[in-house]
Amino acid sequence: MTPLIFVILVGIQGSTAVTHSLKYFYTASSGIENFPSYVSVGLVDDVQISYCDSRTNENIPKQDWMDELSSEHPNYWKEETLTCRVKQRTFKYNLEIAKQRFNKTGGVHVFQQMYGCEWDDETGEVKGYDQFGYDGEDLIMLDPQTQVWIAPKPEAVITKHKWDNNRYDLEDEKFYLTQTCVEWLKKYVNYGRSSLMKTVRPSVSFLQRFPSSPVSCFATGFYPNRAEMFWRKDGEEIHDDVEKGEILPNNDGTFQMSIYLDLSSVPPEDWTRYECVFQLSGVREGLVTRLEKNKINTNEAAVNFHLYKKCLYHLQIKQN
């Protein structure tokens, strides 16, 4: 059983303004057994809203509030399904072109696109992005400021020149990323407001794999995924001997994150001078957890399971 940890609340000055996002991920792949050759996923504020793949050939809602769109747009999901089928053919073709450009046709290959927009609901600032990747590396991306395509790979230069010279498509893309995309994002946020704008505080615990290992401050079960964590010593934020982990999703739609502190040179009697602070976007009060040596979970099996879940997230290709 994980011991109780002394947690206090502190007032955190901050704005409740939120930057909302609409993202689409398209993936065509070859050589991967028991996995669809094409997958498309839509997300609002990093919450999955739609899913389609080459097995079902149907775009489906992943949130109940997304299904409500049918009342305002009766043909919405039919149109989304048609889009999925058209993009599937396009992406499979692009995957084959990429294989030829890189002169590698055998084995596992993946061609991806991520595009979408962000909107600050306080300032009204809008950002759009569109980028492609091949086999896990950047292939070509649009510079939204200059409206010029950037090709990090020589194999994509021919595509860059072709797309740069198509001013009509560039203007069309600019209009979509800065206007159409944002209009839909606002609509989605309005439908899902009660879900997207909720805040859920995490549970916080300390983990240490071995006595010589860094201490991990582990927060899990929070929502949304806009959060910050840091260590303090004697009330002052510290950065030395600190390693911050990334925010990862849980299976229930909430999130987790960790921040590590190396205490190998700190006497045990001084550990109580350290605190872990968690701040959740939209919540003025942060969680401050004081470090006490006897409250650290050193169950190696539990810590290994946490590490296993983290590694699994990075290795798996999520289908729904």
Residue 131 half-sphere exposure toward CB, CA atoms < 13 A: 17
Question: Cβ(301)–Cβ(210) under 8 Å?
Answer: no
User: What is the chain's pLDDT, residue by residue, as a tens digit (320 residues)?
Assistant: 333 333 333 333 333 457 899 999 999 999 999 999 999 999 998 889 999 999 999 999 999 999 888 888 999 999 999 999 999 999 999 999 999 999 988 899 999 999 999 999 889 999 999 999 999 999 999 999 999 999 999 999 999 999 999 999 999 999 999 999 999 999 999 999 888 888 899 999 999 988 889 999 999 999 888 899 999 999 999 999 999 999 988 878 789 999 999 999 999 999 999 999 999 987 888 999 999 988 898 855 444 445 444 544 444 444 44
Q: What torsion, rounded to 10 degrees, do the Cα atoms 213, 217, 219, 220 define?
A: 20
Give the whole-angstrom CA distance, residue 99 versus residue 111: 9
The pTM assigned to this predicted structure is 0.72
Q: Return the closest-CA partner of residue 245 out of 232, 262, 260, 226.
A: 260
Please, what are the domains in the chain?
7-15+199-315 (2.60.40.10), 19-195 (3.30.500.10)
